[in-house]
């Protein structure tokens, strides 16, 4: 099992549920932008066993804390997550309500000139909203 070590190394027990969620989330080249609801549906369709919604929440949060997922700041009633944990930016298609990756090279360097005393920059994220 390719995800057993990943989980063990993070101090997370490689349970059946976590391994299956790993398969759904990470067993592809493509970035997956999702809400908990998206993921729960995907699990229901891809797997023949059920994982409780509480476990989906628990697992996503555990993975986020370990740095295997990140949250994307967006105005929505649902929280969006991203399997692409590299520093990168996003298009947000307002009509489709879908995120699209923008590589750093698609945006160019962003230089923040203003400084706030005693604070340091943790991340710089660009959100480009798209309309038709």
String marking each residue 84-123 x if it binds a second copy according to CB under 8 A: -------x-xx-----x-xx-xxxx-xxxxx-x-xxxxxx
Question: Which whole-number Å values give the CA distances from 39 to 11, 17, 87, 103, 109, in the listed order?
Answer: 23, 13, 22, 24, 33
Residue 48 touches a second copy, criterion: CB under 8 A: no
Which does residue 82 touch among Zn ion, a second copy, Mn ion, none (CB within 5 to 8 A, set by kind)?
Answer: Zn ion
* Interface region with Mn ion, contact rule CB under 5 A, candidates 44-52, 76-84, 100-108, 122-130: 76-84
Q: Nearest approach, Cβ of 50 to Zn ion (angstroms)?
A: 28
Question: Given the rule CB under 5 A, which residues bind Zn ion?
Answer: 82, 84, 101
């Amino acid at each position: 099992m390719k995800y057993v070590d990943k989980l063990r190394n993070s101090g997370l027990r490689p349970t059946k549920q976590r391994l299956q969620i790993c398969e759904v989330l990470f067993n592809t080249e493509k970035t997956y932008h999702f809400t908990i609801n998206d993921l729960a549906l995907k699990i229901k369709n891809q797997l023949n066993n059920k994982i409780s919604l509480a476990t989906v929440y628990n697992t996503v949060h555990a993975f986020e804390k370990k740095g295997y997922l990140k949250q994307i700041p967006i105005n929505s009633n649902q929280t969006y997550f991203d399997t692409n944990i590299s520093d990168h930016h996003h298009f947000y298609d307002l009509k489709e309500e879908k995120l699209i990756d923008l590589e750093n090279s698609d945006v160019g360097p962003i230089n923040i000139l203003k400084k706030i005393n005693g604070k340091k920059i943790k991340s710089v994220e660009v959100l480009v909203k798209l309309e038709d």
